[in-house]
Structure 1
Amino acid sequence: MKSLTLAHDIFRGEYVLDNWSKRKLIASISATKVILENKERLNVDINDDWTYASLNKENLISVLKEIELLTKLSCFNNSDGIEVLKTMKDSDFDKFINIINSSVNSNDIISYCKELRVTANVDGKMYDYTTKYGVLDVPVSIINPTIDNTIIDSFNGESGTEITIKEFLNLSDEYGYKLKYYGQEVNSESHAIGELINFLITGNKNRIVLGDSLINPAFTNDNNLIKYDIAISNPSFMMKIDKNTLSKDIYGRFKYGLTNNSDWVVVSHILSTIKDTGKAAVLLPIGALFRGGAEERIRKSIINEDLIEAVIRIPGSVLSYTNIVTCWVIFNKDKEEDRKGKIQFIDLTDYVESIDRRNNTISKEGVNDAVKAYKKMQENSISFFLGMKKIEEKQYDLNAFDYIKSEKLIESVSHINMTELCRVAQIRRGVQVNKGKLDALNTGSERTHYLISIGNIVDGKIVFEESNKIRIERKWEGVYEVKKGDLLVTSKGTQFKVALVDKDMKGIVSANLFIVRAYEDKYIPEVLKYYLESELGQSLVEGIIKGTAIKSISHKDIEKLSVPDIDIKVQEKVVKKIRKSNEEYNKRLEEAKRIYNEEQKDIKKALNLIN
């Protein structure tokens, strides 16, 4: 079958219509075919059929208006689209109808609804903000809903969760009305598509409501929230919160407190919408698992109430609208006895499957392995459990995937005596200098020190120019100045870098670097650098890197980084080997360059490119 997105080609050039009106027109006309060919099931009392409606523009416009009157569906309220339809050439109209006839199967509602969501990718550009079905399969398969469950998505989007649930239940179109699914969506465009999809599946016209579920939840009864068996949501991440408004909430949703961004406020709302025996799943950015402050306090309260059953990591490459790593957090207000007091962690990082050149999703194997690990409470290469005591030790940091990996790595090298970095070296973060101050310090004749930043570290060496020199403030002297033998380690950025200060210089270190000054009786700097750049060192560093968009290492975490506790006399022997190896490597590199250059000359002579 052809794709419904081909209909966008009809509107290129002479038909001026904004992207949303264009998409809405495609949705309403294609849905008209589905509605007219399912009007008994959808209880739409209209005499006309699709053959009549698709005969000409006048008939179609009349039918569109009648369906709008009968259903009140938002997608059919499109005066701009109707005006363009009136002016459409007969040849273009026929093309439009042919595309719909070849891409819309009215006897396969799910396939049509999926096709409808694909039209979010207007004109083939990257407007696709819908969530891939493989990602939605994970919480639906884990929670395992039944046809008797009531289900809500307070951040409904375009009803992708509803489509996934209908498929999971293997529910035929004839029995779609049995699905007890409700949703609220703040974006009017997403709401219109989601409302239409819900109508086509269930025949209901009022279960997908337009509005902000945080500010004004739609599903209430006598000033109480209606409670559901299951809630599954993929909300926008880190939305700004109107704390003043939410502090006046009459539904008691925010007993854990409020934060400036939305992630755990959304969780609080969703937990308030499920019954005492209910389950919920919320897709959160990985940063929500470990951020401090008010978010940590909310997270701590929810963890202490033992409401979190599982955390499932989703790789960043599977969401078309963001590259950040996310996680499904599964909540259960009525845990089974053998799940109480612990949380299961499942990592689906290695289960990415390509859909096409630009899009990825979670593979079926990944979904199946996650469900198997969950149902059988397995501990294996992708799944492990942590008890409350361990989580408390980690200050309620739920990004356990990295620190557990580090701990397992340390266990695997138990034959090595390890100590903390702070016991063998002094560690100090560089000076924070804003752009205004930097501009002021970068002028005048008293520029005595180089300002060393991440960009000055290249292949383990410090590289700078005269333009890097600045004037320094007296209070920086001896505090942020480097000394020969110091290691400079990145505290922020996409790459972890280490450089050795191998000569005396006047340099000041910026805040995106740590100065690591080894104690002379504990560590030789070159040996410490070798370890930090080794596979083991790099793996342990990965375990303390935090952040999604901006990766960083905290001062506290680098202080506790595990390093081998090596006798200084052993280090004195090893450093000689390191130096000799580096010298030999550099000699071989220079010799290889010399040979390569000679060969290039011979080639050019053979081609008569040089005299």
Structure 2
Amino acid sequence: MNEKINNKLWSIANKLRGSGVSPEQFLHVICMVLYVGHEDKEVLRKLMLADKEELLTAIAKVQVDQPTKIIGLADEDLLAAIPTNVLVEVYDLVKYLDPQEDAEFLEELMSQMQQNAGKRGSILDDFPQTGKLMMELAAPTPQEKIYDPYFRTGIRYSELLAANPDQQIYAQEPNQLAYVAGQVRSYLRQAGNVQVLHQDVLQEKLSPKINGVVDLTLASPPMHRRMRPEDLDKERYRFGKPSSIVDWAYVMSGLDVLNDTGRAIFNLSNSAVFRGNIDAEIREKIVSADLIEAVIALPDERKVASGVPRVLVLFRMHKTSHQGQVLMINARHLSKKKFDFSQAVHQQIKQILEQGQEKEGVSAWVNNETITKNNGILVPDQYIEQDVFKLSPDLKIRLNREKIGQVPMLELGQVAELYRGFNVTSSDEEPDGSYGLIKISDLAGGKINYAQLARTNGKANTRVENYQVQKGDVLLPIRGELRAAVVVTEAHPNVLLTQNIIGVRPIEGKLDSQWLVEYLNSPVGRALLSGISVGTMIKQIPLQQLKKLAILPNQTQAVADYREKKDGLEEQLRQIQLQMEQAKNEFYQASGIGELFEKSN
């Protein structure tokens, strides 16, 4: 878009904004004018002298000759809100465009709108850089039929349709304006084989004629969209009725249309690949069916509506190699920069995929059985061993994996019983309740603050004894930032653990509590815990992974020696602090300050 046209375009947009017209409505107006003027710019010159309503008539005339009608393009209410003089300026702007420039003009406008929207979001492609990567990885051939269950404006297909306007694409899009803009863009590209239906894939299935004929599904469904369970048709989804967060409903809809050799790429939130319960069961079934080819943890993308970590999940209906395995890739480790979606990173991802590379700290092949035993979790870092961990702003360590492999290690679940905390909310708390509640905030400084515990009478039909802490238990916070584990050093009856803490009860003779807490709080223990953490904005440690945590056997004597030295040093420190306090008080008396105040309770 040349500078003169660009300046005029945004001048018009500013005038419309002053009239209360949104950027999205401005895009709709541009789409209407481009549509009627594409084949004959003379029409726009005539419209400049006609009433505003003539634009609706002109749209209807063009639609008569088109095989597909764009529902809602002619928006009477929107047109009424546009000042006539501003509409004339739009006509004047578009009439000077060469018809060959119309599509590029619209796509450039949508691209700029996407950049300007940033975290506010828009009806355009929410993740443009991810969309570009998806297209590069998919590399569709001209003969392949593509399906997109959440098309938006289809801007990710711009380069594809510029090179091959005859590409066959089936799509659905629930947003009215996104549908309109996408259809107009296809019309300007003369992409007659792009068939977009204005509908919600989770409410309306594609025609049965499409099922089994699609070669490639590409989709970036809305993050964390929710639906009521009763609104989801359980008979429709082959791997089970999805949860109320419907990421996997989109995935199953996209897989259903593929032919026997079809493939798919989905851009999903990180939480979609580790959530438990129903979603975990669906993932396990899909993994067991050997349909997942690779999972790629993506770098963060600038200026997008959602900052949650995301993954690309690559599916293939019939694998010709690496059957029974999934290639896990953490593309976040391909660059030291936080926002690095560069072409160099793209090329590295493609190389790892094409060559099936196992790259230290970046990629690894994982057996399907390993994944299904791990609750179907598809987070790459769960399976790619990391060596370098930043445990705090001042502490960064590198694990010696070779040395770790040489020393005898135990799985935590073999030498201890692990139990979950009591799922309690503030509404379950009662000041005079029979039971104390240990929350993460009650664990500080290596101790449990029993005096400040909230209280409860429990819940009906709840066996509170399952959550009661015992002397010798090690309490480990499992939600949020890594926090120190704490050992229960004395018996406190009727005290319960809450849901964000895991209780570890060492088996007598197999594991010492004091050794375990020192190990978990050591740099090695914290690094290993960090390595099994999952989550998007808030990290969590899965119970099943914690059971498999590698720990060194008891070092009872080493702990006893350390504790003795530590206790002695802490006593010395206490004495020094008392001496400092005494010296300060003597200074106050000698200087006269002490006569000006007295301590009070």
Q: Fold conserved (TM > 0.5)?
A: yes
Change in Cα spacing, 1:433 to 1:209, as seen in structure 2 (3 Å) is closer
Contact in 2 for aligned 1:311/1:344 (Cα 8 Å):
yes
Question: Which residue of 1 is the match for residue 330 of structure 2?
Answer: 347
CA 1:24–1:203 in structure 2 vs 1: closer, same or farther (change >3 Å)?
Answer: farther
Whole-Å Cα distance in 2 between the matches of residues 419 and 316 of structure 1?
A: 36
| 1:528–1:126 Cα change, 3 Å | same
CA deviation profile, 1:292-345 (whole Å, cap 9, x unmatched): 544444433433333222111224656833333322121222433x33332212
Q: Is residue 131 of structure 2 the alignment partner of residue 139 of structure 1? A: no
Question: 1:546-561 to 2 correspondence within 5 Å?
Answer: 546-548=534-536, 551-561=539-549
Whole-angstrom CA distance in 1 between matches of 2:349 and 2:191: 33
Q: Is this contact kept in 2: 1:290–1:398, CA < 8 A?
A: yes
Residue equivalent to 2:341: 362
| Residues 379 and 110 of structure 1, relative CA distance in 2, 3 Å threshold | farther
Cα distance between partner residues in 2 of 1:595 and 1:348:
57
2:176 pairs with 1:188? yes
Q: Report which stretch shifted further, 113-122 or 185-194.
A: 113-122
Stretch deviating more after TM superposition (239-248 or 491-500): 239-248
Which amino acid in structure 1 is aligned with residue 385 of structure 2?
A: K
Name the amino acid aligned to 2:218: I
Specify which of 146, 152, 161 is matched with residue 151 of structure 1: 146
Identity of aligned residues (%): 19
5 Å-filtered alignment, 1:63-82, equals 63=55, 65-71=57-63, 72-74=69-71, 76-82=73-79
- The amino acid of 1:367's aligned partner reads H
- Equivalent position amino acid for 2:475 in 1: L
Counterparts of 1:196-275 in structure 2 under 5 Å?
196-204=184-192, 207-221=195-209, 225=211, 227-236=213-222, 237=224, 239-240=226-227, 246-247=233-234, 254-261=237-244, 262-275=246-259
The answer as to whether partners of 1:500 and 1:525 remain within 8 angstroms in 2 is yes
Alpha-carbon distance in 1 for matches of 2:117, 2:310: 28
The whole-number CA distance in structure 2 between the counterparts of 1:595 and 1:179 is: 85
Offset at residue 135 of structure 1 (A): 0.6
Other structure's SS at 2:502 match: strand
Name the CA shift for 1:260/1:508 in 2 (closer, same or farther; >3 Å): closer
Q: 1:503 to 1:289 in 2, by over 3 A?
A: same
Match of 1:339, SS state, is: coil
| SS at 1:327 equivalent | strand
**Partner residue, 2:598:** none
Larger deviation, residues 93-102 vs 270-279: 93-102
Shift of 1:491: 3.2
For 1:24-67, what per-residue CA distance to the aligned partner results, in whole angstroms no more than 9, with x for missing partners? 3433326635863xx3xxxx4x46255665x56x4776346413
Count of residue correspondences: 561
1:35–1:428 distance in 2 versus 1, CA, 3 Å: same
Aligned match for 1:401, one of 363, 381, 385: 381
Out of 432, 435, 443, the residue aligned to residue 457 of structure 1 is 443
Aligned ranges for residues 292-311 of structure 1 at < 5 Å?
292-311=276-295
Query: For 1:446-496, what per-residue CA distance to the aligned partner results, in whole angstroms no more than 9, with x for missing partners?
Result: x68653211223454444765746678999897655566643211333544
Which residue identity does 1:536 align to in structure 2? V
TM-score, length of structure 1 as denominator length: 0.76
What is the Cα deviation at residue 134 of structure 1? Answer: 1.8
Task: Measure how far apart 1:541 and its partner are.
Answer: 1.4
DSSP-derived class of the 1:268 partner: helix
2:411 aligned residue (393, 406, 420): 420
**Whole-angstrom CA distance in 1 between matches of 2:563 and 2:97:** 69
Instruction: Verify: 1:29 aligned to 2:20, yes or no.
Output: no
CA distance in 2, matches of 1:462, 1:344: 43
Does the Cα contact within 8 Å between 2:72 and 2:180 map onto a contact in 1?
yes
Q: Helix, strand or coil: the match of 2:143?
A: coil
Aligned-partner Cα distance in 2 for 1:161–1:100: 24
What's the RMSD between the two structures over aligned residues?
4.5
SS at match of 1:136: helix
Residues 545 and 108 of structure 1: CA distance in aligned 2, closer, same or farther (over 3 Å): same
Q: Contact (CA 8 Å) 1:120, 1:128: kept in 2 or not? A: yes
SS at match of 1:190: helix
- Superposed CA deviations along residues 484-524 of structure 1, whole A, max 9, x for unmatched, are 66432113335444234567767543232233355675555
Question: What's 1:600 paired with?
Answer: none
1:279 aligns with 2:284: no
Q: Is the 8 A contact 2:264 2:316 kept in 1?
A: yes
In structure 2, what is the equivalent of residue 608 of structure 1? none
Distance in 1, matches of 2:582 and 2:46, equals: 81
Shift of 1:126: 0.8
Structure 1 residues 232 and 488, CA gap change in structure 2 (3 angstroms): same
